[in-house]
Structure 1
Amino acid sequence: MGDTRSPDRADDPVVTDPDKYHVVLENDRVRVLEYRDEPGARTSAHRHPDSVMCTLSGFERRLAYDGGSRDVRMEQGHVAWLPAQVHAGENIGRTSTHVIFVELKNSTTRPSTHPDAAPA
């Protein structure tokens, strides 16, 4: 019931890379993380639940997954949905990275069927 993430989980990015990830808000529905790094910085393998990512700076990075990797380039101001995933990252660009992640926590609440609850 409730959140399956625990602050002491070994694959929690706040635990694996506390110099880069910081909790800026947490309640029973979401956890908001701020991420910052510099060119050449790497993260340890860690887990993200379903999240919304808001890029506050443009960046280039390599994401390493079990069995592969891919390079991504994000522009400043990009907002994207990120499905749950496990990866490690490396800043392969020439700029620092500054990102906000809004992580969704598990909920036992039934989805609303009221028309006002749907996104516009």
Structure 2
Amino acid sequence: MADDPVQSNPNHYRVAFENDRVRVLEYTDEPGHTSVEHHHPDSVMITASSFRRRLYARGTSLDVELPEGAVRWLSAQDHYGENTGTTPTHAFFVELKEPDPNPAPRPMSLGPEGT
């Protein structure tokens, strides 16, 4: 399993809030930045800016373009990402601390359907 993003990418992730049920991370980067591989538990991502990224996980990649104010579900995953756009990335991740009752592997996705 990859590292906690706050440990592996300390200049880009910070803990904005935490209690016994959730942890909220704030993420920022600049165009051209590539993060170090890290792990997210099941999470909800809220974008605070529009951005384009390429995500890499399990030998595959996924290009995404998201508007400011988008809300997406992220199943637990290890990944790293690259800012492929011309604008900074700014997003928040609400990480769930409770384990998934059905932990079957799921494909990487940032689709609006929440899958």
Same fold at TM > 0.5 = yes
Contact 2:2-2:37 within 8 A present in 1 as well? no
RMSD of aligned Cα (Å): 1.3
- Confirm or deny that 1:72 pairs with 2:64: yes
- 1: distance between equivalents of 2:98 and 2:69? 27
- Confirm or deny that 1:58 pairs with 2:66: no
Match of 1:83 among 64, 71, 75: 75
Aligned residues: 99
- Unaligned 5+ runs, structure 2: 100-115
- 1: distance between equivalents of 2:89 and 2:56? 17
- Unaligned 5+ runs, structure 1: 1-8, 108-120
- 2: distance between equivalents of 1:26 and 1:10? 21
Runs of 4+, deviation exceeding 2 Å: none
The alpha-carbon distance between structure 1 residues 75 and 46, as it changes in their structure 2 partners (threshold 3 A), is same
- 1: distance between equivalents of 2:62 and 2:45? 18
Larger radius of gyration: 1
> Shift of the alpha carbon at 1:70?
1.2
- 2: distance between equivalents of 1:39 and 1:22? 19
